[in-house]
């Protein structure tokens, strides 16, 4: 398989996995919906909710750019599957967040809190890695200025969303039980 095919496959399967884990958890544990917000309430809840849309659009813009125009740019620099591997870490860890959080809410076991926080930090650090790699490659290569700004802005936004809102603010506001 080519690097582009692996990248597409990782993002399709990973995207389905993330969205499915959320849908299944919300469907099976409707009583936990409010608890999933933790201590995020009021204007913070609005900020989180509104921020999810540009974060998703930013990642989709990145994927579209890589698939349609610049897959060879990344393959030449890093190796054929590097982007797919980094994206797999991001999507797999994002898949674990909601099930682990619900397990923590239900059992109050510290192990589930560790898995929850670890999944958020692996997600954020994968995105930081992806953003740094893409930044250096796009700066070094002669790519369209529009695509540079589109991709880097999109990746930076989703990275900041996952790192600051999820990894720092959500974690700090979430009520911890018996830790």
The pLDDT, as a whole number, for residue 68 is 75
Q: Is residue 145 part of a domain?
A: yes
The pLDDT, as a whole number, for residue 143 is 66
73 pLDDT band, cuts 50/70/90, is low
Cα(74)–Cα(72) distance, integer angstroms = 5
pLDDT in tens, 75-89: 555 667 788 889 999
**By residue range, what is the domain housing residue 128?**
3-25+39-173
- Region 17-42: what's the mean pLDDT? 96
User: How many folded domains does the chain comprise?
Assistant: 1
Q: Is residue 18 part of a domain?
A: yes
Contact of 129 with 169, CB cutoff 8 Å: no
Q: Is residue 32 part of a domain?
A: no
pLDDT in tens, 114-166: 999 999 999 999 999 999 888 877 766 666 777 778 888 999 999 999 999 99
Answer whether 0.75 is exceeded by the pTM. Answer: yes
1 pLDDT band, cuts 50/70/90, is confident
Lowest-confidence segment of 64-73, 101-110, 121-130 by average pLDDT:
64-73
- Region 4-31: what's the mean pLDDT? 95
Q: Which pair of tokens denotes residue 105?
A: 């809410």
* Phi (first) and psi of residue 57, to 5 degrees: -60, -40
CB-based contacts of 40, cutoff 8 Å, min separation 6: 48, 169, 170, 173
pLDDT in tens, 92-103: 999 999 999 999
Q: Is residue 179 part of a domain?
A: no
Q: What share of the chain is helix, strand, coil (3-state, %, to 5)?
A: 85, 0, 15
Q: Is residue 30 part of a domain?
A: no
Helix (H) and strand (E) counts for the chain? 7, 0
């Amino acid at each position: 398989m080519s690097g582009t095919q692996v990248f597409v496959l990782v993002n399709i399967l990973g995207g389905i996995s993330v969205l499915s884990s959320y849908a299944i958890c919300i469907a099976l544990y409707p009583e936990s919906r409010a608890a999933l917000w933790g201590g995020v309430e009021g204007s913070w809840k609005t900020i989180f909710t509104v921020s999810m849309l540009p974060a998703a659009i930013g990642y989709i813009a990145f994927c579209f750019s890589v698939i349609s125009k610049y897959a060879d740019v990344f393959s030449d620099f890093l190796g054929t599957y590097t982007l797919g591997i980094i994206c797999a870490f991001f999507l797999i860890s994002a898949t674990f967040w909601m099930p682990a959080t619900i397990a923590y809410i239900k059992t109050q076991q510290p192990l589930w809190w560790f898995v929850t926080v670890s999944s958020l930090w692996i997600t954020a650090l994968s995105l930081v890695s992806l953003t740094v790699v893409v930044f250096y490659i796009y700066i070094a290569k002669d790519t369209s200025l529009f695509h540079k700004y589109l991709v880097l802005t999109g990746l930076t936004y989703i990275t900041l969303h996952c790192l600051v809102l999820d990894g720092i603010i959500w974690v700090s506001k979430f009520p911890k039980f018996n830790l």
